[in-house]
Amino acid sequence: MITLTTEVLVIGGGTTGAGVAWDAAQRGFDVILVDRGDLAEGTSGRFHGLLHSGGRYVVKDPRAARECGAENRILRRVAADCIEDTGGLFVTTPWDDPAYADRFVEACHSAGVDCEEIPVAQALREQPRLHPEISRAFRVLDAAIDVWKTVAALAEGARRHGARILTHHEVRAVQRRDDTVTGALVHDLRTGEDVSIEARVTVNAAGAWAGQIASLAGIEGVRVLPGRGIMIAMNHRLVQTVINRCQMPSDGDILVPIRTVSVIGTTDEHTEDPDDHSVPPAEVDSMLDEGEKLVPGFRQARALRVWTGVRPLFQDGKAAAVATRDVTRAHALLDHRQRDGVGGLITITGGKLTTFRLMAQETVDLVCWMLSRMRPCATGSTPLPGSESGEHYRLGGRLARKEAALAGRRVVCECELVSREQLEAALAESPEASLDDLRRRLRLGMGPCQGGFCIYRAAGIMHERASASAPDTDRALTEFLAERWRGVWPVLYGDQLRQMRFDEWVFHGVLDVDHLPVGGDQR
């Protein structure tokens, strides 16, 4: 068994965990981060891409609204390259209570959330696909954020300060000495090795799984209510700014332009299992119907794929259960020495992706106190790697950069403009990466064909450059196709049905993927 020692062990590789690792490493602590999967493979990588202005919560959850509004402004500076400044609108549709708009404006002013009413005619000129019968429109500072790019930048920033990032390492036990947590036993899912990590402070940033991690430490009552929601990506941008219905938060009331697609979200149903990724057909139909209320003709647009995310909604274990839609979106920081008499362990959960930096700051402040080494936080002013220029991501910027040297580059994924050089560089950096890992890092296979034209090319390059055996490469290919299929089949109609039928001919008729050998060590 391998034994590692560190000052701070972070469990969870989403935005919160990676944010904690970045902050703690910046403050000079020795840090190890572990995650059972790839970075941002859990809740963080399964949302609609919205950088909240705070407007969505001003009436129902003012604390969360204030936090989102403040952090929105900070992230625009320190994570600029990960953010497209789309702006946002809250609009009153014929299905919304007209009286809510005045409550919304008053709540925005009270919470310090920027909000400006604009003429309906102006809103329709700027966004001609909007429902023509909207009666009011309010401009807010919503934006779109690329979560995989953000988490990758956080991890890189942490590494530059000495942090060790261990993906595909599953926590099997939280180690205790009497009434103090001393680290964790993790299992390397790639090599099969067990690794004992000794830490002075362990941070449980496992999101929707935080209650499970706390249970491993013998602590009950960390009640995280997993709220499962579905989102649907349409294959082009129906709008160029974030569109919200001006009403209390509900299902299917927001449309986010992210990269080249539009994402509508989201439902909110309680589930007992944070790994529940079921997609009820009724929810898909409901979401498409709700889309019509924002953009007439929404149902006739091409639905690219559907996915689920599970929100980590914290509720004190002693409180009565409520519906997940009614649980606060503000975060909770638990010092288990004070709460449960168990030292050396902190849980940070709840909150929004927009508030991850604030959550990390408060968590590392507590780490400093526990280790009696008070050090100031600098994440509010230090740009992430790649964001030093302060320039926001611009749609079309990537194409413009590639066109300058396109003649000399071989493109593997036409939809997302992933070159062979990029793929080879990613494999050189992480030879053990799966095709799904490469999807998150490069956006490989995330376009309209969902890998139909590029993934077999990528598999061939993986076999050649990463020294993966033929059976292992075949397994990576079939696992990627299975994952993509799970997200596509619930929205198979129209053009996407024709696309997937064509892909089926390619993969079954030409490559015969059902009969590929996926075991053994022969090349």
Instruction: Supply 198's token pair.
Output: 């000794």
pLDDT (tens digit, 9 = 90+) per residue, 127-177?
999 999 999 999 999 999 999 999 999 999 999 999 999 999 999 999 999
What phi and psi, each to the nearest 5 degrees, are found at residue 423?
-65, -45
Share of the chain above pLDDT 70, in %: 95
391: DSSP letter: P
pLDDT (tens digit, 9 = 90+) per residue, 279-325?
999 999 999 999 999 999 999 999 999 999 888 877 665 444 444 44
**Better-predicted residue by pLDDT, 197 or 499:** 197
The whole-number pLDDT of residue 184 equals 98
What phi and psi, each to the nearest 5 degrees, are found at residue 18?
-65, -35
Q: How far, in Å, CA of 442 to CA of 15, rounded?
A: 18
pLDDT (tens digit, 9 = 90+) per residue, 83-112?
999 999 999 999 999 999 999 999 999 999
Average pLDDT over residues 236-253: 94
* pLDDT surpasses 60 at 522: no
The whole-number pLDDT of residue 317 equals 57
> pTM (2 decimals)?
0.91
pLDDT (tens digit, 9 = 90+) per residue, 460-484?
999 887 677 888 888 889 899 888 8
Nearest to 260 by CA among 304, 309, 196: 304
pLDDT band at 408 (very low <50, low <70, confident <90, very high): low
**Better-predicted residue by pLDDT, 396 or 1:** 1
Contacts of 28 (CB under 8 A, 6+ apart): 161, 375
pLDDT (tens digit, 9 = 90+) per residue, 9-32?
999 999 999 999 999 999 999 999
Average pLDDT over residues 30-59: 94
The whole-number pLDDT of residue 519 equals 54
At residue 313, the 3 state secondary structure works out as strand
Domains of the chain: 2-43+148-224+315-371 (3.50.50.60), 84-142+225-313 (3.30.9.10), 397-515 (no CATH)
pLDDT (tens digit, 9 = 90+) per residue, 179-191?
999 999 999 999 9
- Most distant pair of Cα atoms in the chain: their distance: 69
Of the given ranges (6-10, 277-281, 454-458, 511-515), which has the lowest mean pLDDT?
511-515
